């Protein structure tokens, strides 16, 4: 257990948008009531100016750090969140919520539809990054926080941070966006579509009506296997696995699995089935594909309303969200005379680099938050 962050945390819940005051979604549909699962770390100061909201990636959740009772592993970003860490809980009040459409306590496809008494399944309306952010704003209001010191996240989390700066420009002081982009490319959409088709081709999916029955385990596992290939780089896979064999000295000439990389992907896929809902994977991956900051217009124009300072971090080995996409974002910010720091970190970890302790990442974030806190105090 991490000595610096061995506190036992509990997930909290807040419910909003009770009928007839449902949330109007970007799709035109309405949703309510909405329950958000969230966790907080550290203490909110007297003037409520030290709040930092962390946004999770596609398959993450609200448990960003520390331990739940009985946990063997800490939260998904424990290396970055805690006393003395980059997101120092001795200085900042950290908030992390499970996104709308998720399956870890926040309202999503597996939640009970109050009108039917059964899980929503595919009757759940489509949600977007904008909708996720709107729900997070309701949580911020619930906590009595008028302005975030910072919003931070990697991958889909970075998209939420960017959306916050545009939808609520007067309620967020700074943004940390890591390994993300402003819209999905055709290649990125293609990877997601193959993953979705794997789920929907599983006979146990049953058009999304599998709750209380057999879950589409094989389809969901294959989806996760596809995802993990994109999360790593060619170099990191070669360094970790190469052509190493599993428990044998020579090729078996069968389909049982000869190579360690095959075994790794199967393990990742099978373990994912036990912690994630297949329908949530469909909905959240689609939300990523719908995301487009510029809405097919000019990216420069989209950021005219932004008021935050920005830290944009990319990784040289990330081929899923390559650095050149972050550079496009930086150019759009600079064209609007927005304060932006652009950092590209060289490593071989690939897209998932933000989840590991890569050299320099903690120091970069620590310095940026310190600078942000100082500038916010002068407002």
Yes or no: say if 258 and 246 are a contact pair by the CB < 8 Å rule. Answer: yes
- Verify whether residue 324 is a known catalytic residue: no
Residue (of 177, 179, 181, 176) closest to 371 by Cα position: 176
- Verify whether residue 351 is a known catalytic residue: yes
Q: Cα 223 from chain centroid?
A: 17
Q: Under DSSP, is residue 156 helix (H, G, I), strand (E, B) or coil?
A: helix
Choose, from 88, 202, 277, 318, the residue flagged as catalytic: 318
Q: Under DSSP, is residue 143 helix (H, G, I), strand (E, B) or coil?
A: coil
Q: What is the DSSP letter of 38?
A: E
Largest CA distance in the chain: 68
Choose, from 202, 258, 351, 372, the residue flagged as catalytic: 351
Residue entry with tokens 């699995």:
257
Q: Is 72 exposed, middle or buried (0-12, 13-18, 19+ CB in 10 A)?
A: exposed
Cα radius of gyration (the chain): 21
Q: Under DSSP, is residue 148 helix (H, G, I), strand (E, B) or coil?
A: strand
Q: Cα 160 from chain centroid?
A: 8
Choose, from 110, 111, 155, 323, the residue flagged as catalytic: 155
| H or E segment and range at residue 139 | helix 129-142
DSSP result, 195-228: HHHHHHTSGGGGGG--TTS---HHHHHHHHHHHH
Cα–Cα distances in angstroms (integers) from residue 116 to residues 123, 206, 209, 211, in the given order: 11, 19, 13, 14
DSSP result, 241-298: TTT-BSS-SS--SSSS--BHHHHHHHHHHHHHHTT--HHHHHHHHHHHHH-BTTTTS-
Active site residues: 155, 318, 351
């Amino acid at each position: 257990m991490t000595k610096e962050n061995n506190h036992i945390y509990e997930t909290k819940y807040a419910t909003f948008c009770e009928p007839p005051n449902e949330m109007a979604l970007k799709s035109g549909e309405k949703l309510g009531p909405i329950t958000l699962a969230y966790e907080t770390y550290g203490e909110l100061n007297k003037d409520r100016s030290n709040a930092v909201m962390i946004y999770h990636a596609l398959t993450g959740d609200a448990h960003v750090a520390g331990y739940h009772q009985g946990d063997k592993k800490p939260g998904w970003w424990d290396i970055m969140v805690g006393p003395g860490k980059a997101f120092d809980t001795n200085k900042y009040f950290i908030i992390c919520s499970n996104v709308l459409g998720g399956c870890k306590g926040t309202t999503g496809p597996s939640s009970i539809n109050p009108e039917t008494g059964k899980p929503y399944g595919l009757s759940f309306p489509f949600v977007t990054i904008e909708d996720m952010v709107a729900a997070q704003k309701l949580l911020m209001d619930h906590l009595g926080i008028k302005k975030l010191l910072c919003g931070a996240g990697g991958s889909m989390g970075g998209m939420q941070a960017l959306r916050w700066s545009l939808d609520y420009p007067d309620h967020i002081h700074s943004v940390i966006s890591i390994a993300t982009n402003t819209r999905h490319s055709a290649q990125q959409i293609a990877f997601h579509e193959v993953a979705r088709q794997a789920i929907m081709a599983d006979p146990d999916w049953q058009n999304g009506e599998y709750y209380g029955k057999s879950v589409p385990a094989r389809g969901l596992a294959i989806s996760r296997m596809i995802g993990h290939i994109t999360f790593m780089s060619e170099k990191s896979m070669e360094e970790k696995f190469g052509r190493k064999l599993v428990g044998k000295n020579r090729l078996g000439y069968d389909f049982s699995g000869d190579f360690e990389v095959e075994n790794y992907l199967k393990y990742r896929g099978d373990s994912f089935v036990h912690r994630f809902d297949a329908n949530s994977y469909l909905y959240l991956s689609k939300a990523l594909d719908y995301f487009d900051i510029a809405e097919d217009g000019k990216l420069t124009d989209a950021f005219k309303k932004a008021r935050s300072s920005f830290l944009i971090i990319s990784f040289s080995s990330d081929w899923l969200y390559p650095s050149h996409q972050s550079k496009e974002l930086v150019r759009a910010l600079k064209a609007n005379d927005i304060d932006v720091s652009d950092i590209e970190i060289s490593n071989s970890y690939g897209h998932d680099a933000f989840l590991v302790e890569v050299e320099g990442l903690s120091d970069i974030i620590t310095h940026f938050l310190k600078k942000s806190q100082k500038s916010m105090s002068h407002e």
